[in-house]
Amino acid sequence: MNLLKKYLVVLAILVTTLIFAMSLNIALQTEEPLNNFSYTKAICSDENFCRDYVISCLDEKVLKINPTGAAVQFTKSWQDPRTKEEIEKIC
């Protein structure tokens, strides 16, 4: 086989591989994207001691909760301004 034919065979293999990889990538992109996010949230005790946490979620599932190190002690008369739903919802 001459050199030109060898290059054409190699080129054909590369083009076929590239087309396959591109079609696989397009197929993967059509799947539902994951809703992966993180945010900080204060979680308070009955004594109004609130600690801040980084909460990582995947859709509505908690992946991890890590303390930031920030905390505050409010007076006994303090009332959390968030709604009950906001306080209880994690993800």
Q: Which two tokens stand for residue 23?
A: 């079609």
Q: Which two tokens stand for residue 84?
A: 């009950």
pLDDT of 48: 97
- Token pair 């008369």 is found at 77
For the chain, helix, strand, coil in percent to 5 are 35, 35, 30
pLDDT of 20: 43
What pLDDT, in 10s, does the model give residues 52-77? 999 999 999 999 999 999 999 999 99
What pLDDT, in 10s, does the model give residues 34-54? 899 999 999 999 999 999 999
pTM above 0.75, yes or no: no
Sorted by where each begins, the domain ranges of the chain are: 1-31, 36-88
Non-local CB neighbours of 41 within 8 Å, separated by 6+ positions: 52, 53, 55, 90
